[in-house]
Amino acid sequence: MQFSKAAFLASNSETAQAALAALQKGYQHSSPDEADIIVALGGDGFMLHTLHRYMDRGIPVFGMNRGSVGFLMNAYSEENLFDRLNRAQQIIIHPLHMRAYDPQGNATEALAINEVALTRDSAQAAKLRITIDGKVRMEELIADGALVATPAGSTAYNLSAHGPIIPMGAQLLALTPISAFRPRRWRGALLSNKARVIFDVLESAKRPLLAVADSREVRDAVRIEVQQSHKHKLTLLFDPEHNLEERIVSEQFAT
Q: Which residues are catalytic?
A: 44
What span, in angstroms and rounded, lies between the C-alpha atoms of 66 and 160?
23
Burial (CB < 10 A; 0-12, 13-18, 19+), residue 237, is buried
Backbone phi, psi, residue 9, to 5°: -125, 145
Question: What H or E segment, with its residue span, contains residue 36?
Answer: none
In the chain, the amino acid numbered 176 is T
Backbone phi, psi, residue 53, to 5°: -65, -35
Helices vs strands, H then E, count in the chain: 5, 16
